[in-house]
Copies of this chain bind each other. A is one copy, B any other.
Amino acid sequence: MAAAKEEEKEEEKDSEDAAAAETEGRVRAWAAEQAARGRRVALVTSGGTQVPLEARAVRFLENFSSGRRGAASAERLVRAGYAVCFLHRARSAFPWARALPPHGPALLDALRLTPGPPPGVAAAPAALPALLPALREYRRAAEAGALLAIEFTALGEYLALLRAAARALAPLGSSVMFYLAAAVSDFYIPVSEMPEHKIQSSEGPLQITMKMVPKMLSPLVREWAPEAFVISFKLETNPQILLEKSRQALEKYRHQVVVANVLESRRTSVIIVTRDSQTPLSLSDEEIAQGMEIEEKIVSYLQGQHTAFIERKG
């Protein structure tokens, strides 16, 4: 049984490695094309990772993230002239698709049968004001090859794909921005300590012990893409410890920027922290009323920082 389990896990590892190798090739070819066109490239990570609690998993630990920040930022980055590699949790928010109603009754109600002949389906008039500009921008980005979407679900898959994409982008040097907005789990259960079958509730209360996930920022900054401009995100629920944690991260991982935010106010204000500065960005009540998103300010500010970084490096 244990041998069969080991074998199964090895097969899974092999298929994860094969997928990562395939992704590395795909990102490398795409990045070369972007560089030839003189475009800067951003790798945006987005959404939460899934951590299985059982080998044949029914239960998972999830880090909350709708993927809204990553998706909104990817849209802004494309608008600012970047080509974006969008490494995202499957089914989390997707650039421009977020203008569509959620998948369910709202989406069904936004689509109308047209009598024809031949019969067809058209968007309801009420959906058009949001849908038209989003679809136009998506088409433009797709036709220009400015958006390369890569999906993950499990934590292991995310880590393997991030490494693959980082290596593929390294040749672009300082013109690459890593915009690491995904909510990555800090904890996991090693395969060797994982129960094979569904944990039985009849056995009483559940005790789980999880190990810490190694931080990927260290190898990313030191080995995989040492010339790149790297931005990480820090989300806390307690504002008291936010800035201190952000400074500690910059000190420890030696990357360029931490975007610091508090869970409750994350949609309207952030602090951009670098080794020698901290810049609060926020939306005014008027801007909120106009439907402006904080990602517009974040991307615009970071684009300037990235330009300065490239100039210093060059």
Contacts and interface: CB of A to CB of B under 8 A. Distances in A.
B62 A60 contact: yes
A308 interface: no
A249 to B, nearest CB: 11
Interface residues of A, number: 65
A63 B53 CA distance: 10
Interface string A120-157: 11110001100110011011000000000100000000
B201 A212 contact: yes
A314 interface: no
Given A61-B60, A63-B59, A103-B102, A206 B235 contact: no
Q: Chain A interface mostly helix, strand, loop or mixed?
A: mixed
Instruction: Give the copy number.
Output: 2
A58 B128 contact: no
A236 B198 contact: yes
B119 A122 contact: no
Contacts of A132: 113, 119, 121
Interface in A38-82: 50, 53-54, 56-64
10 contacts: A60-B61, A90-B104, A91-B104, A97-B107, A122-B123, A198-B263, A201-B212, A204-B212, A206-B209, A207-B207
